[in-house]
Amino acid sequence: MNKLNLNTSWDYSDAPESTNHIILEKKYNLFINGEFIEPKSKKYFETINPATDEVIAEIAQADKKDVDLAVKSARKAFKSWSKIDGKERGKYIFRIARMIQEKAKEFAVIESIDGGKPIRESRDIDIPLAVNHFFYYAGWADKLEYAFPNKVPQPLGVAGQIIPWNFPLLMAAWKIAPAIACGNTVVLKPAETTSLTALKLAEIIKESGLPQGVVNIVTGPGTTGSEIVNHSDIDKIAFTGSTNIGKLIQKSITGTKKTSTLELGGKGANIIFEDAAIDQAVEGIVNAIFFNQGHVCCAGSRLFVQESISKIVIEKLKDRMSSLILGDPLDKNTDIGAINSKKQLSIINNYIKIGKQEGGEIYQLKCNISKKGNWCPPTLFLNVSQSHTVAQEEIFGPVLAIQTFRTIDEVIEKANNSPFGLSAGVWTERGAKIFKLTKELNTGVVWANTYNKFDPTSPFGGFKESGFGREGGLHGLRAYLKFE
Ligand code: NAP
Ligand code: MG
């Protein structure tokens, strides 16, 4: 059997990213009507560095009155923002894109400090993609009638936007850029554990001269989110987060004037056929599940390997895992950073416990784990079956459930046997197999011979309990417009 020769006998020297260039306040207020203002609630909460347990800053906690103020400011701004020339709107959005680009390094470091993701990922993926989203939608702002020929596109009004902690700035970009390009105004709530880059974005928005009230950013826990959802003067709720909260939101807005898009959880099937390029597929498995510590809605968290090659694939996967470096998110060599919060770590550990109790065979990478911070080594569960909890439920951590299959129809049935329908990956050299799977897999995205590729021009979103609505591309504009 050809083992992967990764020659891991050397040690890497530390390669810490410098933090000299970052400016962080000790205390952050709410961004409402173009100003940073103290919360009427008078309450603040702490944001923590998940790799060290250190408190980074205090952040304002918005209550009902604060949310109401933000919605009023967005409503007032909508009157003029919805009427100004598209070219003018585009000008501001291009400016915001360029300003984030100028501060890309600062954003990347703050994203890694606040959320725990490796600096390589925040530097090379999160921040550049967030910038690209602003550039892409800036370009559409004055071309909406070409995007939807023979229709008269109109903005919806005030959008309430609620985002999770796994890609904080990127999710803010996915929400804000298309909404304001279409002439809407927004009230956005970042996740409690990762508000800092959204607040840095607020600083840029203020400096960009964007008219006051077009973007409002209110921070706080889930209760702040539910004040947004239940506010009577919001026209649209755009939510990205867990399926459970998504269901609650959908219930609360039923019967109101609000429209919604819900981007929810996933349990992606990554399918490796015997004719695949195996070494590339192994690289793809690692990227699919261990990227961002597995805190990825579209993670390839269910691996299906064709039985004839399962032994060699698993052998090579273990070899490849042995070269992964877990540790300081700010070190440029790090592959696996910190788990975002203590709460998420205990959710993951509980799934690992259940996996063992249900008889899964566990394999974990041996790593030196710091006493401080939240860490989970890359984990495999071998010999699991469809009914195992680790193969059914979203773990949202670096835990991969591995199953085998013999035929294409069997794997399609197994892959579709999930309440979710967000993403899948297919590894084969046969185009015909790729087309069969893209047609028959009930998921919003299918990657072929690659995984976790994102681009602002291409729509993203799910079926079944993964939610509805699309973000990215023309579809992403559609979600913020009505047609007369
Ligand atoms: P979550 O617990 O559902 O939280 C998402 C956001 O909703 C956070 O800002 C949260 O605030 C807020 N929230 C909590 N309770 C709320 C309520 N009752 N009403 C309104 N808002 C409320 O999800 P998460 O743990 O942050 O994120 C992980 C989930 O997001 C995973 O299931 C993942 O698959 C999904 N996700 C989906 C996509 C996609 O595009 N489909 C992309 C990324 C992530 P706090 O954080 O302050 O509690
Ligand atoms: Mg934090």
For the Cβ of 192 lying below 6 angstroms from any atom of ligand 1, the answer is yes
pLDDT tens-digit series, residues 50-92:
999 999 999 999 999 999 999 999 999 999 999 999 999 999 9
Q: Are residues 257 and 112 in the same domain?
A: yes
pLDDT tens-digit series, residues 109-155:
999 999 999 999 999 999 999 999 999 999 999 999 999 999 999 99
3-state secondary structure (DSSP) of residue 99: helix
The answer to whether 35 is a known catalytic residue is no
Q: What is the mean pLDDT of residues 453-481?
A: 96
Domain boundaries, position 295: 269-448
In a domain, 323, yes or no: yes
Q: Are residues 339 and 243 in the same domain?
A: no
Distances (CA, A) of 395 to 177, 327, 382, 444, 456: 30, 21, 16, 20, 27
CB atoms within 10 A of CB 327: 21
For the Cβ of 240 lying below 6 angstroms from any atom of ligand 1, the answer is yes
What whole-number distance in Å separates Cα of residue 313 and Cα of residue 282? 7
pLDDT tens-digit series, residues 318-363:
999 999 999 999 999 999 999 999 999 999 999 999 999 999 999 9
For the Cβ of 67 lying below 6 angstroms from any atom of ligand 1, the answer is no
Closest ligand, as measured to the CA of 467 = 1
Of 192, 263, 394, 471, which one is the catalytic site residue? 263
> Residue 9 pLDDT more than 80?
no
What is the total count of domains within the chain? 2
- Whose C-alpha lies nearest to ligand 1, atom 21? 225
Q: What is the pLDDT of residue 8?
A: 60
In a domain, 7, yes or no: no
Q: What is the mean pLDDT of residues 446-456?
A: 97
The average confidence (pLDDT) of the chain is 97
In a domain, 22, yes or no: no
The CATH number for 227's domain is 3.40.605.10
Q: What is the pLDDT of residue 134?
A: 98
Q: Are residues 274 and 259 in the same domain?
A: no
Do 158 and 185 meet the contact criterion of CB atoms below 8 Å apart? yes
% helix, strand, coil for the chain, step of 5: 40, 20, 40
In a domain, 371, yes or no: yes
For residue 424, the 8-state DSSP code is E
Q: What is the mean pLDDT of residues 188-195?
A: 98
- Whose C-alpha lies nearest to ligand 1, atom 22? 222
Q: What is the pLDDT of residue 12?
A: 81
Amino acid identity, position 149: P
Q: What is the pLDDT of residue 233?
A: 98
In a domain, 10, yes or no: no
Q: Are residues 106 and 255 in the same domain?
A: yes
For residue 108, the CA-to-ligand 2 centroid distance in Å is 14
- How does strand 55-60 pair with strand 423-427? unpaired
Query: For the chain, what is the total number of helices (H) and then of strands (E)?
Result: 17, 22
pLDDT tens-digit series, residues 395-435:
999 999 999 999 999 999 999 999 999 999 999 999 999 99
Q: What is the pLDDT of residue 149?
A: 94
Q: Are residues 81 and 175 in the same domain?
A: yes
> Residue 5 pLDDT more than 70?
no
Closest ligand, as measured to the CA of 339 = 2
Q: Residues of the chain with pLDDT > 90: what percent?
A: 96
Q: What is the mean pLDDT of residues 362-371?
A: 94
What whole-number distance in Å separates Cα of residue 299 and Cα of residue 354? 20
The CATH number for 365's domain is 3.40.309.10
Sign of the torsion formed by the C-alpha atoms of 126, 127, 131 and 134: positive
In a domain, 103, yes or no: yes
For residue 359, the CA-to-ligand 1 centroid distance in Å is 30
> Residue 1 pLDDT more than 60?
no
pTM here is 0.97
Q: Are residues 259 and 281 in the same domain?
A: no
What whole-number distance in Å separates Cα of residue 389 and Cα of residue 3? 31
Nearest one of 71, 112, 405 to 270, comparing CA atoms = 405
Q: Are residues 413 and 287 in the same domain?
A: yes
> Residue 7 pLDDT more than 90?
no
> Residue 189 pLDDT more than 90?
yes
Q: Are residues 246 and 373 in the same domain?
A: no
Q: Are residues 259 and 309 in the same domain?
A: no
In a domain, 422, yes or no: yes
In a domain, 458, yes or no: no
Q: What is the pLDDT of residue 11?
A: 78
